[in-house]
């Protein structure tokens, strides 16, 4: 399931990215887990829509820019919750959207082995 989550988030970053933009993917350690950040350089999301994007069937104002069925971020949040993690999004100061998956140590047993 986590592979599909990551695949979908990268696919969305590509769909909504500027034509000449790049996708940035960063993996990092945190005190009690790990993070995966996916950033595009597209239009971002309207501030008033950010929390709504996690509701099933909600599609933001930029949905016309790419095909898709809409409910995926609510599924992502649920899958991350099942695995002891969460998902966050924010518009970047320059241009684009940044999605961060946070995995707890419990969700990453290989990490705990050192």
| Cα distance from N-terminal residue to C-terminal residue, the chain | 24
The packing angle between helices 72-82 and 2-16, to 10°, is 150
What are the b/e assignments for 70-80, b being 16+ CB within 10 Å? eebbeebbebb
Q: What is the pLDDT of residue 109?
A: 57
Q: What is the pLDDT of residue 105?
A: 78
pLDDT digits (tens, 9 = 90+) for 66-80: 444 455 788 888 999
Q: What is the pLDDT of residue 64?
A: 43
Domain ranges of the chain: 2-112
Question: Domain 2-112 adopts which CATH fold?
Answer: Heat Shock Protein 90 (3.30.565)
Q: Does pTM top 0.85 for this prediction?
A: no
pLDDT < 70 positions in the chain = 56-71, 106-114
In what order do the strands lie in the sheet containing 33-39? Answer: 24-30, 33-39, 97-104, 86-91
Q: What is the pLDDT of residue 113?
A: 44
């Amino acid at each position: 399931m986590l592979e599909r989550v990551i695949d979908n988030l990268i696919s969305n970053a590509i769909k909504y990215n500027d034509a000449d933009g790049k996708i940035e993917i960063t993996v990092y350690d945190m005190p009690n887990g790990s993070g995966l950040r996916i950033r595009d350089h597209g239009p971002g999301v309207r501030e008033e829509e950010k929390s709504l994007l996690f509701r099933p069937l909600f599609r933001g104002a930029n949905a016309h820019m790419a095909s898709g069925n809409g409910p995926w971020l609510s599924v992502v949040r649920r899958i991350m919750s099942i695995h002891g993690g969460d998902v966050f999004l924010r518009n970047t100061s320059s241009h684009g959207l940044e999605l961060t998956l946070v995995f707890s140590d419990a969700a990453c047993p290989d990490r705990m082995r050192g």
